[in-house]
Chains A and B, each alone.
Chain A
């Protein structure tokens, strides 16, 4: 297990280094010369530029500059937006909590509902629950989250006037309960299409496991059906289901870009779309880097968790 963890950790670090290096190279070739940017048109002379270049250490080899870039980032300096001049720390990093708020909530909601209904669907195969579940899954797989978001707004905000259409914190909000109405629609728009996906996967995996010989053996011991399902079928289905969590997180974060735009949710997705519109490469690339680090970390944790669930990996020395 320790060896497995060490190997996965090393691999994750190597991946982060490769991605960040690629991003660093891309950042250095965006076509925007930071020197002329810094000096401004009036002060620009070749000599002044060369002097500043030396002073800022821009003549150092690429690898040195790359390491220096990491050092800066680790000490909290992420650079500035090329287009708007805001510090990336306040303009981008500070927006992560908002994004994680809706995506993690959506993740939890969709996981609970998806696995729950998926299980029932598998246990009561071909029952009403199964048909309804499969129908919801089919629709969930076919309605993109942005379209679903529009429908939700039309239904709950315009027609029923129940929930607000946009924003994260309403004016005068103090407690979590004041903010809750704003959270419901974006989370629903993200979570419900996602449920279908997981429901279907859980159902199919469980049906697959239910056909295994060891489940038949468990039944031949005379234990009741619910025990067969909990102890044998569900327990063995968890590993594949956990493994797709990563994939689902990528889908959620991808979907959150559009959903944040629709609900004016002040998260990183919105920053990203604005940055792309303004060709604000430094912001775009830093966003990409953070996304890479986030996803690789989740991937590492998922692998770890999956390994814990499986003695074949856990006991491997």
Chain B
């Protein structure tokens, strides 16, 4: 299976400097994405999950400083896999740009803000297509875009394609954003909270759609979310992030059935998941997320952790392999006093 790893991130860190104060937002994050699978990156807002993904594809502002042991993308597009070291590429250089769209594409959080208000839907969908297929006629691109809109279940696509974003509903706009992401037939789709801005019914429609595309074309999806229900529905693997660190990672069964990190446990207890025991109460995690600038040493979760002890406040907590493929950054796992 390991040759099926399409994206391999090792020790990625991002420092954001605001008002001359550098703050580490992403700390030594490692994860692997397998071909045709969905990896969910879970955590509260502000835990650095979006920044992590933006750092991987280097769509970041100038005040971000990214370091990594390696960020490896393996393209399976033509015969033998071709490898790209994303961490070594210039953010807006030719090679990186050639990967954005046909290899890796993104679906952003807010469909309301993600479309340019002054261009027609069709023009925005074909922009990437024309960019990556030099010589393609506009008419041909337009036909492909129309096909894509139809595939995504947009009613009256012939008419919609000529409309402007302000004439559409949120759910429609998100389908358009997905169409833009899909039009170049990418290998990885990074979906950053793709449904938070939408109604619940439309949420499930959109997710259904993505799932369907994935199984049809063997796409890999990275799903960034704070919605555990969505994770349960969609993901094959899960990485739980807290304050810029992956605190627990593993296959979905392992995480849901045997959560080891107190934060993951809290997260699962605090969220209603379909099918969970009816008499189980919902429990909130005490306290609130600290300011990332205040954290210096020890476990990031120590301040809110019920099992916190002296050793948790020193140094960097290492990652332990609790069972094959199931990593956790908690000293309790080292002692073996698991649940």
Which residues from chain A sit less than 8 Å from chain B, CB to CB? 125-126, 212-214, 216-225, 227, 231-232, 235-236, 309-312, 315
Contacts and interface: CB of A to CB of B under 8 A. Distances in A.
B98 A222 contact: yes
Contact of B100 (A125, A219, A309, A315): A219
A217 B98 contact: no
Contacts of B115: 214, 217
A275 to B, nearest CB: 46
Contacts of A213: 108-110, 113-114
Given A219-B100, A223-B131, A309-B118, 13 more contacts: A212-B113, A214-B117, A216-B114, A217-B108, A217-B177, A220-B100, A221-B128, A222-B102, A222-B128, A223-B97, A227-B131, A310-B118, A311-B164
A210 to B, nearest CB: 9
Interface of B: 57, 59, 62, 92, 97-102, 105-106, 108-110, 113-119, 127-128, 131-132, 164, 166-167, 177, 180-181
14 contacts: A125-B62, A212-B113, A213-B108, A213-B109, A214-B113, A217-B116, A217-B177, A219-B92, A222-B97, A227-B131, A236-B117, A236-B118, A310-B117, A311-B118
A216 B108 contact: yes
A221 to B, nearest CB: 4
Nearest to A314: B164
A309 B128 CA distance: 23
**A-B pairs with the 9 shortest C-beta distances?**
A222-B100, A221-B128, A213-B113, A222-B101, A222-B97, A311-B164, A214-B116, A220-B106, A213-B114
A58 B113 CA distance: 62
Contacts of A126: 62
A188 B241 CA distance: 59
B180 A219 contact: no
A92 B246 CA distance: 76
A220 B117 contact: no
Contacts of B116: 214, 217-218, 232, 235-236
A184 B177 CA distance: 52
Contact of B118 (A216, A220, A223, A235): A235
A227 B116 CA distance: 14
A221 B164 contact: no
Contacts of A311: 117-118, 164, 166
B138 to A, nearest CB: 15
B132 A222 contact: yes
A219 to B, nearest CB: 6
B59 A219 contact: yes
B59 A216 contact: yes
Pick from A212, A213, A309, A310 the residue with the most CB of B within 10 Å: A213
A217 B114 contact: yes
Classify the secondary structure of A's interface with B.
helix
A216 B91 CA distance: 13
A223 B113 CA distance: 19
B166 A312 contact: yes
Contacts of B105: 220-221
Contacts of A312: 117, 164, 166
Contacts of B118: 235-236, 309-311
A214 B166 CA distance: 13
A261 to B, nearest CB: 43
A212 to B, nearest CB: 6
Contacts of A310: 117-118
A218 B106 CA distance: 10
B86 to A, nearest CB: 13
Contacts of B102: 222
B113 A218 contact: no
A220 B57 contact: yes
Contacts of B131: 221-223, 227
B44 to A, nearest CB: 21
Given A309-B118, A311-B117, A220 B101 contact: yes
Contacts of A220: 57, 59, 100-101, 105-106, 108, 181
Nearest to A315: B164
B240 to A, nearest CB: 25
Contacts of B108: 213, 216-217, 220
Contacts of A221: 100-101, 105, 127-128, 131, 180
Nearest to B132: A222
A213 B192 CA distance: 12
A304 B193 CA distance: 39
A312 B102 CA distance: 31
A212 B118 CA distance: 13
Contacts of B106: 217, 220
Given A217-B106, A217-B177, A315-B164, A223 B127 contact: yes
Contact of B114 (A214, A223, A231, A236): A214
Contacts of B57: 220
Contact of B97 (A214, A224, A232, A236): A224
Nearest to B106: A220
Given A125-B62, A222-B97, A309-B118, A315 B167 contact: yes
B127 A218 contact: yes
